Structure 1
Amino acid sequence: MPTRKGILLVNLGSPKSTEVNDVKEYLDEFLMDERVIDYRWFFRSLLVQGIILRTRPPKSAEAYKTVWTPEGSPLIVITKQIQAKLQKLVDVPVEIGMRYAEPSIENGIRKLTQQGVTDIVLFPLYPQYAMSTTETVVEKADEVRKKFFPGIRINYVQPFYNRDIYIECLAESIREKLPENYDALQFSYHGVPERHIYKTDPTKTCNLNDCCSRESNPSHQFCYRHQCFKTTETVIQKLNIPKEKTIVTFQSRLGNDKWIEPYTDETLENLPKKGVKNLAIVCPAFVSDCLETLEEISVEGKEEFMHAGGENFHYIPCLNDEDRWIEVVKTLCEERLDDFFLV
């Protein structure tokens, strides 16, 4: 029986609107994911539904209002733009799905199957591997496939944090947007609890101390922290920027657990005291601008830095729908499309 191939681009997701009830519904699905908050169900429910959802949705709704566009959520708008540009470059159907809310992964797969697709390349749009990003997308897609689409096959695009085509693309994008005069370039990645690093390491060789900087360690392919530092290291080599002029931090902490350090907000407050008055900042854990970049960094982060004595704060946008990034997406997808011939 002939097969037909297709591509599904998967991003995080977004509330349907900035209404408090829609934000609450989205946060409920997001935070109740056991790979985001990895407590046992009872304690996770107690925390999320008993505490967080009673207080956080109104504040989050106000934050979403500051970044919302006439077309809707910036994350979903940009993902649709990537889809449209990619579709012009490939001869297979391209659809999108979100890990949380709509359009769902199930919806995206169904659209592809309705076009006769039997073999799907699913692309989690995260450069680095983490339990709360790549892993939860793969697990959800596999669950949906088994339940609703047992006849299809899925090939997943692997984390691409160290792929030359991606590093070159990211470096060129930063180079074009980097201000002429800056004291430091800060790489702010989304944070994760330290325990996530250990949980995703089947080799049990990670110690969160010196192993991230080793040339080779069995845990590297599963270690989000290592992959963030590796992305930074290779990008600044491309940019020919001295290492001492760059900073790596982690943002978006939730709760009182120990998250990987150093923290973005604390760093922004301390940099002016260390003589960094002109700061450029980029967020390479994201390929699409969203609440965590447009509000948390370019608004809240800027306020923290300027209030602490900073003079110039320059946020460098994500790759979004830049043509060079679409070419990278095309290449990474086509590699996995070709792999179907090897099965």
Structure 2
Amino acid sequence: MKGILLVNLGSPDTPNPKDVKRYLGEFLMDERVIDVPLWARTLLVKGIILNTRPKASAKAYKKIWWEEGSPLIVLSERLQDKVQKRVDYPVALAMRYGSMTLKNGLQELVDKGCTEIKTIPLYPQFAMATTETIDVKIDELVAEHFPQVKITRTPAFYKREDYINVLSTSIGEVLNGLDYEHILFSYHGVPERHIRKSDVTNGNCKMDGKCCFKKGSPQHEFCYRHQCEITTINVAKKLGLKNGTYSSTFQSRLGFDPWLKPYTDRTIERMGKEGIKKMAIVTPAFVSDCLETLEEIAMEGEEIFHEVGGEEFTVIPCLNERDDFAQVLTNIIEEWAKTPENAIV
């Protein structure tokens, strides 16, 4: 019997510092999130970050917390429900970090008789710190607890036509009739070294912006930067955006190592200072609104823009539980169910 496991990032159980500290500890100790030797990661995370950051992060979570709970969890559950109503297979939901564990999600499907499980990370673009860490953890759990289960992975869906159509529609619904001067496509940032570590061509990636657009490179299947740039290009083409009225940026830096550029916060500040008065911003690396979109962009980003003279700052929601996005996931599931021999395992 086939089953589906949708996987998102995760969230603290509550916005209280104790729960936020526990969540951050699990998240930041992942070797694919902070990819330094264990001793250095332990010193950084347990010796510094967890002694300073939980209170500030808890304050941020409280700003965006819903009555029903964490927005990311609530929205993911709504999406799961819509997908379940569209397919004949059991659909479970799990998080890479937090109490909604991958093990529990797999166990839920196994208890329903599933022996073939398709995992769908809810990330349109591949990254070492998102999709890869899910794949690796799933493999570990299956080997240890579910050896009878066959896992089928889902490749990044950033360039699927149906996904681009839905993302473009969601953006167009906000832009239609909106008087704006520039739209930022803000993607979650990753360290530049993550891109190099994911380079299957062993050195082709020069981080100069050229190989991102070189056709036919095998690196593109695992290059987060390339996939973000192509997402922007495809949406801009679909919406008929004019050159110079849109750009891609990267948010959420940590530490002092170079991360993907340009940075979202600095771009917002620069454009405001240069006289841009009306800006729109969308966050295509996230399918569910969360701390990074509701607080970092919608609150902090808007504050930066207004401080430097900007006037109108329009935040475009993530795809969340949109019916047409639920249908994209349904299409992915149905394609797998019809041609399982062609699935990537």
- For residues 69 and 235 of structure 2, the distance between their equivalents in structure 1, rounded to whole angstroms, comes to 32
After superposition, the Cα gap between the structure-2 partners of 1:249 and 1:115, relative to the gap in structure 1 and judged at 3 Å, is: same
Deviations 1:257-281 (A, max 9, x none): 1001000010111112222110000
Deviations 1:110-135 (A, max 9, x none): 00011111101110000001000010
Contact 2:275 2:309 (C-alpha < 8 Å) held by counterparts: no
- For residues 338 and 136 of structure 1, the distance between their equivalents in structure 2, rounded to whole angstroms, comes to 27
CA RMSD of aligned residues (A): 1.0
Aligned-residue offset at 1:215? 2.6
What amino acid does structure 2 have at the position aligned with 1:217? S
Match of 1:206 in 2: 205
Match of 1:242 in 2: 242
Match of 1:36 in 2: 33
- For residues 341 and 225 of structure 1, the distance between their equivalents in structure 2, rounded to whole angstroms, comes to 30
Deviations 1:265-308 (A, max 9, x none): 10111112222110000000000000000000000010011111
What amino acid does structure 1 have at the position aligned with 2:207? L
Match of 1:50 in 2: 47
Q: List aligned pairs for 1:165-314, cutoff 5 A.
A: 165-178=162-175, 180-204=178-202, 205-209=204-208, 210-314=210-314
The count of corresponding residues between Structure 1 and Structure 2 is 340
TM-score (norm 2): 0.97
1:152 to 149, 153, 157: 149
3-state SS of paired residue (2:40):
helix
User: Is residue 100 from structure 1 mapped to residue 97 from structure 2 by the alignment?
Assistant: yes
Aligned-residue offset at 1:159? 0.2
TM-score (norm 1): 0.97
What amino acid does structure 2 have at the position aligned with 1:198? R
Structure 1 residue runs of 4+, over 4 Å off? none
Aligned-residue offset at 1:91? 0.7
Match of 2:7 in 1: 10
Gaps of 5+ in 1: none
Q: Percent identity?
A: 52
- For residues 220 and 155 of structure 2, the distance between their equivalents in structure 1, rounded to whole angstroms, comes to 14
What amino acid does structure 1 have at the position aligned with 2:216? S
Deviations 1:189-209 (A, max 9, x none): 000000000001121211111
